[in-house]
Amino acid sequence: MSRIIKTISVPSGGKVEKILEDWRRAGKNVSQTVCEIVERHSTLYDDNIIQEQELNKLRFRYAYIIQAAKRALYNINDGIEWELYFPPGGWDSQGMTTSEGYGQASTVHFRKADEQDSSNDS
C-alpha cells in the first residue's frame, strides 16, 4: 500500500520540524511514518472511547452495589441511615497498595449517616 503525503506544515524552529529533519537525514520514509502515526492516533482515540464506555458501565454497577448495601444496612439496623465512608489515610489505613491490584473500590466502608466518628464502621 502506497502512502503519500505531499505537504506537511509544522511551526518553524519547533520540535516537530527537528524530528522531521532528523528522519530525512536518517533516510526514513517521512510520508509513511507520518501516516502510521496518524493511523495509530486514530486507533488510540477509538480505544479510549471504548474504555470510557466500559468505565461508565462499571460506575453504574458500582453505584448499584453501593445502594443495595446501604439498603441492606438500613433494613437490618432498624431503619438507621448509613452512608459511604472513606477512612482517612487512604491505602495506608487499609494495609494495601494500589500495586496489589485491588483498585480504588476494593474495600467499601459505611458509617451511620448521623455520626461523624468512624467508630461504627461496618
Q: What is the pLDDT of residue 3?
A: 64
**Residues with Cβ < 8 Å from 28, sequence gap 6 or more?**
none
Q: In the chain, which residues have pLDDT < 50? A: 101-102, 118
* Same domain for 16 and 74: yes
Question: What residue numbers bound the domain in which 115 lies?
Answer: 80-122
- Give yes or no for a contact between 120 and 87, defined as CB atoms under 8 angstroms apart: no
Domain assignment present for residue 4? The answer is: no
User: Are 93 and 87 within 8 A, CB to CB?
Assistant: yes
pLDDT confidence of residue 118? 46
Identify whether residues 87 and 117 lie together within a single domain: yes
In a shared domain, residues 90 and 122 = yes
Look up residue 45 and give its three cell numbers: 482515540
Give me the pLDDT at residue 52, please: 93
Q: What is the pTM (predicted TM-score) of this model?
A: 0.46
- 13 shares a domain with 51: yes
Q: Are strands 82-85 and 109-112 parallel, antiparallel or unpaired?
A: antiparallel
Three-class SS state of 85: strand
Are 34 and 62 contained in the same domain? yes
- Asked if residue 94 and residue 58 are part of one domain, the reply reads no
**Does residue 44 sit in the same domain as residue 97?**
no
What is the domain count for the chain? 2
Residues 74 and 85 grouped into a single domain = no
Amino acid 88: pLDDT: 64
What are 55's three cell numbers? 468505565
